[in-house]
Homo-oligomer: A and B are copies of this chain.
């Protein structure tokens, strides 16, 4: 499936912190920066996420903010 979602970055799961119904997943992007995702615990289980697993990080462009010094 091709998505309208503008941002699709490649990376690898670095860590998963499971909560009650939500989980916080840290991803190491290819190129070296980190992204954190707060997704449902159900999703982490269905996708069988685990440290070392390659993932695509998706973010809709309307969710991205910019800052300048």
Contacts and interface: CB of A to CB of B under 8 A. Distances in A.
For this chain, the copies found in one complex come to 6
Main DSSP-derived SS at the A contact region: strand
A17 B54 CA distance: 29
A67 B20 contact: no
Contacts of A61: 24, 36-38, 40
A7 B36 contact: yes
A63 B60 CA distance: 8
6 A-B pairs with the lowest CB-CB distances in the bound complex, closest first: A31-B31, A19-B21, A19-B20, A37-B64, A4-B43, A63-B63
B66 A4 contact: yes
A10 B37 contact: no
